[in-house]
Homo-oligomer: A and B are copies of this chain.
Amino acid sequence: MRNWIPLIGQLQDYDLRQDMKSDLNAALIVAIMLIPQGMAYAMLAGLPPVMGLYASTVPIVIYALLGSSRQLAVGPVAMVSLLVYTGVSGIAEPGSEEYIAYVLLLALMVGVIQLLLGLLRLGAVTKYISHAVISGFTSAAAIIIAFSQMDSLLGTDLGESKNVFIIMIEAVQNIGNIQAETFFIGLASIVVLFLMKKYTPKIPGPLTVVVLSIAAVQLFNLEQTGVEVVGEIPGGLPGLTIPAMSADAVLTLLPIAVTISLIGFVESYAMAKVIATRERYAVHPDQELRALGAANIGTGFFSGFPVTGGFSRSAVNYDSGAKTGLAGMMTAVFVILTLLFFTSWFYYLPQAVLAAIIIVAVYGLIDVKEPKHLWQVKRADAVTLAVTFIATLAVGIEAGIITGVGFSLAVFLYRSGKPHMAELGYLESEGVYRNIKRFPQAKTDDDKLIIRIDAPIYFANMAYIEEQLRHYMLEHPRLTHVIFDFSSVNDIDAVAVDELEKWLDHHGSRGIRFYFVTVHGPVRDIFKRAGWDEKFAGSLYYRDLNEAHKAASSDS
């Protein structure tokens, strides 16, 4: 029971006065942040604002019960909302009933995929998404999201495209159509949000601009001058909806559902891990997948849209003192109270303010330090980040992540295909064997070659290794002994063993003798199964280079 509902474990030593107070305080602050954000992200996803509130009720309660993180704040987030828009706007008109039906189905699919991955304990597949890919992808997505708010901010129609460059061109062409009051409200909100974030981080900026802008619109009758407002928000709780399923729709939505499942999980799990490490408790990837999956199934049945654990909201939840999942539960209660009693208050909220909230929220996701750092430490990783960033901006959000993952794995495969090799020499001062390129004073013999191969040997790098060996042997015309330092050969496959055997047979027949030093267990096993223990008895398994060198010297 406690394995499946971690909340029970979290409440084991719950202090009803102290901890409850902390959780309640965090829940209130998160709710104040979540209500305008939820509406804004619903808008970003092409949905009516109220669905952002619906998505902040049932899923939060489900995650609070099932999640292994105590502080993760689940709900609508910018990246997933954008993915929903890009995935569904191609097959239905945003905001239409058909569009909403597809989004509900999509949420259900995301939930089922995450739940299945969690039940099958496949959370580890996400390890193949490099942090460099996530960083490049997130920065690009943040820019795309910010630009997608341009029309709400300018109060003018800029077409349907989410491509940054097209939006820029459209914005310049429509510079005469800018609605001045809207633009002013939006710009002022952005400035206020940035300033408050910097100078008064304790006061919730989104709530402030929401309250001020509603007051301003009412006071100056700005709605009459053309400022678009949120308008009527239906009060009351979300009803139970059954997503319409058709094989066709499921197939069409599958790629975007898989993308949202993985990206949503990766973003969420990364944040959960950061907090868990600081608080010294464990989060489990598969339990997290199950919890997020259940939450998304919940959002699909209760008029919401796909949710995940958000970066900034979780940070606020944690900083505000949340101790357990109860904080999440209470957040949901505050949202439900809003739905029951306060939706009419948001009638005059300008859409430009929601756009401003989104822009400021995603601005923090643009990471310029990481590419610099990666460039300094290892350029290939920085290039991976750049490729992902450019592909995401230029082609789109799904293509970007696929390109990034493909590229990062290709880099690894490319590197593993051209492994580092070194000729070793004896360094008398230290009594060890070292790479003669780094230690030119190391002593070598004319008739002996000591080679260290720094790689798992497999089908794709065996040809390269043979080629390098050929070069080394050309440099040693008087060669009679080859000593292989296998201390960094951590694996070998059958294809490579066969090739190596052919190579040994060929050179062995020309009178060259071989010595294998520090062969690790997994490689020993393969040698044994390939019959080398008999065939090459006496050549394998030297304990160290000194021993092999001595053996080679007495063999000559």
**Which residues of A are interface residues toward B (Cβ below 8 A)?**
124, 127-128, 130-132, 277, 373-374, 376-378, 380-382, 408-409, 412-413, 415-417, 419-420, 422, 430, 432, 435, 438, 454-456, 458-464, 487-491, 493-495, 497-499, 502, 506, 518, 520-522, 526, 529-530, 543-544
Instruction: Compute how far the CA of A436 lies from the CA of B454 in the bound complex, rounded to whole angstroms.
Output: 24
Instruction: Compute how far the CA of A287 lies from the CA of B378 in the bound complex, rounded to whole angstroms.
Output: 33
Q: A430-B543, A455-B456 are in contact. Are A495 and B417 (CB under 8 A)?
A: no
Chain B residues with CB below 8 A from A521, complex form: 420, 422, 435, 438
Number of copies: 2
> Is there an interface contact between B498 and A131, defined as CB atoms closer than 8 Å?
yes
Query: Which interface residue of A130, A377, A454, A463 has the most chain B CB atoms within 10 A?
Result: A377
Q: A408-B459, A438-B521, A543-B432 are in contact. Are A381 and B420 (CB under 8 A)?
A: no
Instruction: Compute how far the CA of A529 lies from the CA of B374 in the bound complex, rounded to whole angstroms.
Output: 10
Instruction: Compute how far the CA of A96 lies from the CA of B350 in the bound complex, rounded to whole angstroms.
Output: 68
Instruction: Compute how far the CA of A521 lies from the CA of B491 in the bound complex, rounded to whole angstroms.
Output: 20
> Is there an interface contact between B416 and A412, defined as CB atoms closer than 8 Å?
yes
> Is there an interface contact between A495 and B381, defined as CB atoms closer than 8 Å?
yes
Chain B residues with CB below 8 A from A490, complex form: 419-420, 454-455, 488, 490
> Is there an interface contact between A377 and B529, defined as CB atoms closer than 8 Å?
yes
Query: Which interface residue of A376, A459, A460 has the most chain B CB atoms within 10 A?
Result: A459
Chain B residues with CB below 8 A from A463, complex form: 124, 127
Instruction: Compute how far the CA of A495 lies from the CA of B373 in the bound complex, rounded to whole angstroms.
Output: 10
Query: Which interface residue of A128, A417, A518 has the most chain B CB atoms within 10 A?
Result: A128
Chain B residues with CB below 8 A from A413, complex form: 128, 409, 412-413
5 nearest CB pairs, A to B: A454-B490, A130-B459, A377-B494, A378-B494, A381-B494
> Is there an interface contact between B127 and A377, defined as CB atoms closer than 8 Å?
no
Chain B residues with CB below 8 A from A456, complex form: 415-416, 455-456
Residue of B nearest to A530 (CB): B377
Instruction: Compute how far the CA of A216 lies from the CA of B31 in the bound complex, rounded to whole angstroms.
Output: 93
> Is there an interface contact between A494 and B374, defined as CB atoms closer than 8 Å?
yes
Residue of B nearest to A544 (CB): B432
Instruction: Compute how far the CA of A374 lies from the CA of B458 in the bound complex, rounded to whole angstroms.
Output: 13
Chain B residues with CB below 8 A from A487, complex form: 487-488, 518
Instruction: Compute how far the CA of A489 lies from the CA of B127 in the bound complex, rounded to whole angstroms.
Output: 19
> Is there an interface contact between A417 and B128, defined as CB atoms closer than 8 Å?
yes
Instruction: Compute how far the CA of A419 lies from the CA of B497 in the bound complex, rounded to whole angstroms.
Output: 19
Instruction: Compute how far the CA of A499 lies from the CA of B131 in the bound complex, rounded to whole angstroms.
Output: 10
Instruction: Compute how far the CA of A299 lies from the CA of B542 in the bound complex, rounded to whole angstroms.
Output: 55
Chain B residues with CB below 8 A from A526, complex form: 377-378
Residue of B nearest to A452 (CB): B520
> Is there an interface contact between A494 and B373, defined as CB atoms closer than 8 Å?
yes
Return A233 CB to nearest CB of chain B, in Å: 42
Chain B residues with CB below 8 A from A438, complex form: 521
Q: A464-B124, A529-B376 are in contact. Are A522 and B417 (CB under 8 A)?
A: no
Residue of B nearest to A506 (CB): B277
Chain B residues with CB below 8 A from A499, complex form: 131
Return A91 CB to nearest CB of chain B, in Å: 26
Additional A-B contacts beyond A127-B464, A381-B495 (15; CB < 8 A): A124-B463, A127-B461, A128-B460, A131-B495, A132-B495, A373-B494, A377-B498, A380-B493, A409-B460, A412-B416, A415-B491, A416-B456, A419-B490, A420-B491, A455-B491
